[in-house]
Amino acid sequence: MRDAFILRIRQTMSSLVSIRRTWLVCFAAVALFGCDTSTDVTDPDAPGPLASAASTLRVENQTSESIVRFYLAECTSMTWGQNRLGSNPIAPGASRTFTLTPGCYASLAVLNSGEEIETGEGTLAAGRSYVHAVRSSGPTQTQPVTLVVDNRSSERITEYYYITCGQSSWGSNRLAGSSIGAGQNWRVSLAAGCYHLLAKSSTGTAHELRNNQYSSGGTYTHTLVGGTTAPSPATVRVDNQTAETIVGYYYTACGGQYGANLLAGSSIGRGQSRSFTFTPGCYHLAAMSSTSVKHEVLNVQLQAGATFTHTLRGGPPNLAGNWVGTMIRSDGVKYSDWTLPLSQTDSTLSGTMSHALYSTGSMSWGVRGKISATGDLSLSFSGPTTNCVALLDARVSGTSFSGTWVTTGVCRGGDGSKREGTWSGTKR
């Protein structure tokens, strides 16, 4: 009897230790995700398949708007990556479950109104389930937008459509069997955000207006005149003349706050351009590069039917191409002549340097490095021998640069002394 009692006590204590370990795993992620208490209580340190099992995350939309984009990025990532929802938003009160590799994550939810809800970092343990409740404190939950469709044409409007700017399909006819006669108007309440609008008459005449940003509590009018939308939209052409990739483009009416990213997972490469249409008016415009360089213009007056070109310059210089130069030792003796074909992606550089050494023939070094927006160049070269590395710094100016170099490892002199000096180069 006594032995059975002691065995029962040991079993109970073992279960308590297991529960404690489970909740410690939960608390590690509570800064970002809540725990799903329906998960079995299992020791995460125990051997078996749990050690390599995936984590699951259920995202619950507890706002009054649809979540149109949702991003999950590893804590070491510099960008948010792709939209996890694709073209399927999470409606208010609905949820979506994701299966993830265990690790540290941060999240960003974007609502239909453009409000961004970002969390801090949290760790998801293997084999565990978590709940992330998305809540909004923005004014869009209590202050809808009023849209007035004013039919000043001579035709009856039998179809009307509106969709958020992130959607590609017009969906169902919002008039649902009714119509808007000539000289009449129709009103509808919307959540604040960006919308595309389309009206069609009984004869098939289309009145389309895209990329309309509506602020909380405001009243806006879509005026239909003749067979065209009044007024004609304005166009913004974004011309990327930087050496970087543009991953974000944002706008707001003057005095407002920036909304959702218009690029929506796409990008504008070096030397490329992209055009967007807007309702005429006053706007702030901002582009963001992959290295977080911001290109902003304020109080731009967009005119009906006109095109405004937002030219992006600055950022890291474009060093792609063939470079030639010399390396001089600190005692004034030439160390080598070199050639370096460089390739560049945003601020990252790579290539192979070929040396014509002054005293010992020739060799090739692999190169990798970075160039900053201010033209500061930092490179490291892996020599032909293990642990032979050269570190070089320089300031780029136009098609030339100059700076210092130092070698480490077996690249040092035969007596173990450090080799260093200056170097310079020009772009062919």
Helix (H, G, I), strand (E, B) or coil at 259: coil
Domain 234-312, CATH among 3.40.605.10, 3.30.70.2190, 2.60.40.2890, 3.40.50.2300: 2.60.40.2890
Helix (H, G, I), strand (E, B) or coil at 19: helix
Which residue positions in the chain have pLDDT lower than 70? 1-52, 78, 120, 137-142, 227-231, 357-361, 382-389, 408-417
Residue-wise pLDDT for 73-122, tens only, equals 887 776 788 899 988 899 888 899 999 998 888 888 888 877 888 876 77
As given in the structure block, the two tokens for residue 51 are 């050690």
**What does R_g of the chain's alpha carbons equal in angstroms?**
30
The CATH H-level superfamily of 143-230 is Domain of unknown function DUF5300 (2.60.40.2890)
Domain formed by 2-138, architecture = Sandwich (2.60)
Domain 321-427, CATH among 1.20.120.160, 2.30.29.30, 2.40.128.120, 2.40.30.20: 2.40.128.120
**Residues near 169 by beta carbon (within 8 Å), at least 6 away in sequence:** 163
Residue 105 pLDDT: 86
Pairing of strands 219-225, 145-151: parallel
The sign of the dihedral angle between the CA atoms of 399, 404, 408, 411 is: positive
pTM of the entire predicted model: 0.35
